[in-house]
A and B are shown apart, each in its own frame.
Chain A
C-alpha cells in the first residue's frame, strides 16, 4: 500500500463532497483498471458514468460499495474515510468494523438484481432493516411496504422473485436498497438485463428518486438519453480515467474530446 501522507483524516466544511475518490488506483494483477482517479460527488447530485466496455465504470461503483479493495489512494464518504481509518494521526487500511460502520451510507442496485430468491418481495426489503439495523418487524414492514408502494410493487409483495419479471425484480431491488436509508445510491446498468418494453418502469423509479433533493446517486448506464435527461453531471470514462466530464447538456451537446465524440457517435449509430 502506498503511503497516504497528505491525505486528510476527514473532510470538513459545509461544501464537502458526499463522495470523494482521491487518487484511487485499482489493478487486477498486472492489469491496471483505474489510475489515480479523482472524483467528487456533491450531496444530492446525480452523476452518470458512461464509457466503452472495460473502461472501469463498474469497478468505480464496486470499490465504493467496498466489494472491491482499492490499491491506492482513499475514498471518503460523507467526509469520513471509507477504505481507510484514522490511526496514530495517519490513515491505515479499514478493518471490517470500520467498513461496516461506514457502509451504512451506501446502497447499490445490480445489473442482475440479486434479489434473495428464498424470500418474498416484502421479505427482501425487510431483511436489511430487521437483521442489520435491528429494527422491529412492524416498523420494517411499514417502511418496506411504503417503498414497494413507491416503486409500484405493493401488489406483488408476497411473491418470490422467481414469479416476477425482470423489471419487477429490479424495482423490488431498488426498494430493498432504499429501505436501508442510504445517503448514496449506486446503480450499475440496472436496465441492461431487461427487455426493452420494461426498461421504462425502472427508469421512471430512478427519475423519481433523482427529483428528490437529498439522495446522492452514481449511475453507470448505456442509455444515453436517460443519462442526459436526469443527470446533473456526466463522466465519460476511457481506459480507467475520466476522459471528459461536465453537465449533461454540455457533454452530450458539445463534447470537447475526440474520444468522447467518437464514443457518442458510435453509440448513436448503434441505436
Chain B
C-alpha cells in the first residue's frame, strides 16, 4: 500500500471543513470551561459551607469519571429528563463542564497564590469582597494560571474526537467516513494526525508567549 497524493488532495477540503468543526467544538467547550471554571473556583471559596461542599463534591465526581461517559450522559440521558440537545450542543456542554472542573483547580491555585497582604490592603481601602476579587485578586491570579489554562486548551482540542461517538462531524469522524467510503485509511488518518500536530505545537508556544505578555502587561515581570 502506498501513499496516493491525488486521493490526499481530493479529501483535503472535507478534512479542512472538519478541522473548522473541531476548532469550533474545542473553542466552544473551552469558552464554557473558562467561565464556568472560574465560577466553580469562586463558589468553593464562599463562606457558605453547604455550597462549598456541594460544589467540591461535584467537581471531584466529574474529575473522577470518564469524559466519554459524560458525553453519553448529556446526549442520551438528557432527553429522558426532557433536555433534548443536538450532538453539537451536548458535546460542547459535556466537554465544557468536564474541563471547567479541571480549570477550577487551576484558578483556585492562582487565587491562593495571591498574597494575604493584598486582601488586607483592599480591606484597608474599604473595598467589598466582590471588588477585591474583581479588581485585585483575579487579575493577579490569572498570570500564574495562564500556563495551566493553556495546557487544558490543548487538552480539550485533543479530546474533541470523543465527540465523534455522538455524531459530531469533527476530524476523526470525517476521517472514518472517508476511510470506509473509499476503503483507504492511510491518507485520512495521517492527515488528521498532521493537522492535530500543526495546531497543538504552535498553540503551546503561543501560550508561553501570551504568559510572558500578560506578566509584562501587568508589571509583574
Contact = CB atoms under 8 A, between A and B. Distances in A.
Nearest to A160: B219
A248 interface: no
Contact of A104 (B115, B126, B131, B135): B126
B36 interface: no
A100 B118 contact: no
Contacts, number: 68
Contact of A163 (B117, B127, B219): B219
Nearest to A115: B121
Nearest to A107: B124
Contacts of B117: 110, 112, 114
A116 B136 contact: yes
B13 to A, nearest CB: 46
A162 interface: yes
A45 interface: no
A208 B218 CA distance: 32
B220 A128 contact: no
Contacts of B131: 131-132
A119 B135 CA distance: 10
B15 to A, nearest CB: 43
B180 interface: no
Interface string B124-142: 1111100100011001100
Interface residues of A, number: 30
B139 A66 contact: no
A162 B218 CA distance: 10
A180 B123 contact: no
Interface string A45-72: 0000000000000000000011100000
B125 A176 contact: yes
A162 B115 CA distance: 15
Interface class of chain B by DSSP: helix
A132 to B, nearest CB: 5
B221 interface: yes
Interface in B132-167: 135-136, 139-140
Given A100-B128, A112-B117, A118-B139, A65 B218 contact: no
A65 B140 contact: no
A118 B218 contact: yes
A128 B140 contact: no
B120 interface: yes
A117 B121 contact: no
A166 interface: no
Q: Which 6 pairs, one residue from A and one from B, show the smallest C-beta to C-beta distance?
A: A160-B219, A114-B121, A128-B125, A114-B117, A118-B218, A108-B124
Given A117-B220, A119-B219, A131-B127, 14 more contacts: A66-B123, A110-B117, A110-B124, A114-B117, A127-B125, A131-B125, A132-B125, A132-B126, A132-B127, A132-B131, A160-B218, A162-B220, A176-B125, A177-B125
